[in-house]
Each structure stands twice: as C-alpha cells, then as structure tokens.
Amino acid sequence: MELYSLLLLYFVLHTSAYALSDVTIDEALMAVKEADNVMADTSYLINRLNSVLQRLNDPSCSNDDECIDYTRMELESITSEAMMLKESTMKKNLNMLMINILLYAPIAATIAAFVTTLLYTNLKSYLRRKMMEMEVKEVEEE
Amino acid sequence: MIAANNITTLIRSRIFLMSLVVLVTLSMGVAYVASVPREHERFLSLSTLGSNMMVGDYYPNNKKDIELLDNVRWYIQVYNNMGSAEYIAVRVKLLNSEQTAPDDNTHTPSPIEHVYEFKRLVAKGETVTIPFEWSVTSILSIDNSKVIKGISINGDIVEVDARAEDGKDFRIVFELWRYNIESKEFEFSWVDSSNEKRSVWNQIWFNVKS
C-alpha cells in the first residue's frame, strides 16, 4: 500500500513537472517569437532555449529534480529576458523613428531645399543674363 | 563664396520655403515607410545533403546498395524564413516502396511511425545543419525478402521493422514538423504568407545487402 502511494506521488510529481515545463517552454517560445517580431536580436536566447530543450529531452533529466528545477529557472529567465528585450527593442525602434523623422529628415530636407533653391536661382540668373546678352537683329522681310 | 546677405535672401525666398515644405514632408514619409517592416515570403525549407555536404555522395562506394554496418553520413539542413524563431522537429521514417509516403497535395504525413526525431529551435533567417550518421545493424532474410530489424542513428540503436522484396527500394523519409503554440503540438503543415498550406519532406532510396 505504501509502495502504491509512493508510486502515485512519484507519478503526480513527475507528470506535474513535465506539464509545468511544457507550459514554460510555450511561454518562453512565445516571448522569443514576440521579441523576434519587433526585430530584436534573439540569437543568444535561442541558443539558451535550445540547450534547455536538449536537457529536457534527455531521459536522465526527467528523473533528476535538480535538473528539472534548473531548466524551469532557466526557462523563466529566458521568458523574462525575452520580454525585456522586446520592450527595449520597441523603445529603441521608436527612438530611432523619432530621431529619423524629427532630426535627420528635416536636416536632409533643409540641405536639399537649400541646394535646390541655389541651383534654381543660379540657373534663372544665368538664363536671364544669356537673354540680356542676346543681340537683337532686325530681319528684313523680302 | 556666397555672401551672408545672399543666404538670407535665399532662405526668405518663396521657392526655398515651398521646396522646404515639400521635401520635409517627403523625407518624413520616406523615414516612416522605411521603418515599417515589409511583408516577406514565409517558408521553411528542408534539404538532405550527402557526406560532402553537397547534393550527391549519398551512398558509400556511390552505389545504392548498403551492406550491414556500412556507415552512411548525411546532413539535414533546415532553413527558417518564417519571420520569427520556429521550434521544429525532423522526423525520420523508414519505409519500403509500398508504404505510403507523405502527400504534397493533401499535406498529410506518412502514416508510418517515426523511428527517430531531431528537435531544434531555429532562429529567424537561420540555417541549421544536423549530422545524420546511420547504419543498418540487423537484417533478417525471410524467403525472398529482407527485413531491417535495427538501425543505428547517430550512435543510438533503434529497433525497426521494414521489409522489402530482395532488400530493394527501402527509403528513409525526413519530414519537417513545426510546433504550433496554439495547439501545443507539432504539425506537418503550416500556412505561408499567401495563406496556402505548405509541407516539406525529403526521401532517399537505398537497397540492403547482407
């Protein structure tokens, strides 16, 4: 009877550890995908997640509480880092967009407008001068 | 040199102000459009390469005949262009010529159970190369047929049961499965950027000689 209870307890702990890991893998994967969607560099997170998946697929890990705890902590850490990476990348992207729109775009436009106006006025005065230098000849009609 | 007076006149001119307004609007628009991520073709690709990591040299001695304990080295390459990281599984199946292969039209996998599986998370735009070293470890001859009872894949011995007449036309099928977070399952097909169903698989034929 005692053996049966122990087996039952082991089974409950074993399956719950797996279920928890599965949920956390999904969460970590989702967090990494979301970070990817905002163009964050997730390569180091993917390397870490791959090594966690490798540990979880190792049969010896499923019987080792220390291994399960480590992978759980690692998955939680990856999830939170991916979320932070997503937030920071979104902020960085927004800042870059603001700098481009409010600083670089007006500077480039002002330089382009200045050059355009300069070219236009110079061309205009050149054509005017050319016109002034033209000799007016009277053509006799036959 | 342009005199300061001339510059002031230039800046105050109507043509300068007009071109400035137009160019500022235009450059802001360009800056915004450039920051919006563009839609691209979404796909996953799977390729099987030979021992020299090229298309070819799939068999030892360049013959389709593989003998017991002949070491065969292939490489499986998966490229992810889905726009974000993908959790993939490459499922290896051992089939004979009569068993059903995956179907490209209905996007259904082969009904035969896989004998081995590689699971990897592939970053967006990344190509992963998985070494696939295998050999036939056990063959039974029954009447005119040869039955493969065991194969070694990357050092792991796997029990199989595949039979073929005269040991001809066995095939190793590689199926690419993609993990769907919503259904929490690996799926053989997925939807691409044009909303069409896609699936990817490869197969390599071989004969066995004991």
User: Residues A83, A86, A91, A93: what is their CA dihedral angle, to the nearest 10 degrees?
Assistant: 180
- ipTM score of the complex? 0.76
Whether residue B204 is predicted with pLDDT greater than 90 in this model: the reply is yes
State the amino acid at position B15 in one-letter form.
I
The pLDDT value given to residue A112: 93
Percent share of chain B, pLDDT over 70: 98
Which residue of A43, A109, A120 is in closest CB contact with B23?
A109
pLDDT tens-digit readout, B141-172: 888 889 999 999 999 999 999 999 988 999 99
* Cβ of residue A125 closer than 8 Å to a chain B Cβ: no
Minimum Cα–Cα distance from B120: chain A residue: A50
pTM: 0.78
pLDDT tens-digit readout, A23-66: 578 899 999 999 998 989 999 999 999 999 888 888 788 778 88
- Inter-chain CB proximity A117 and B84 less than 8 Å: no
The pLDDT value given to residue A90: 94
Going by C-alpha positions, the residue among B138, B141, B144 that lies closest to residue B94 is: B138
* Cβ of residue A36 closer than 8 Å to a chain B Cβ: yes
The pLDDT value given to residue B102: 94
Sign of CA dihedral B157, B161, B162, B167: positive
Q: Are A89 and A38 in contact (CB under 8 A)?
A: yes
Which chain B residues are within 8 Å of A21, Cβ to Cβ?
A: none
Which chain B residues are within 8 Å of A109, Cβ to Cβ?
A: 20, 23-24, 26-27
Q: How many CB atoms lie within 10 A of CB A97?
A: 15
State the amino acid at position B165 in one-letter form.
E
Residue B11: partners with Cβ closer than 8 Å, 6 or more residues away = A114
The pLDDT value given to residue A4: 55
The pLDDT value given to residue B9: 81
Give helix B14-35 / helix A105-133 axis angle, nearest 10°: 140
Which residue of B24, B35, B85 is in closest CB contact with A97?
B35
Mean pLDDT along residues A102-124: 91
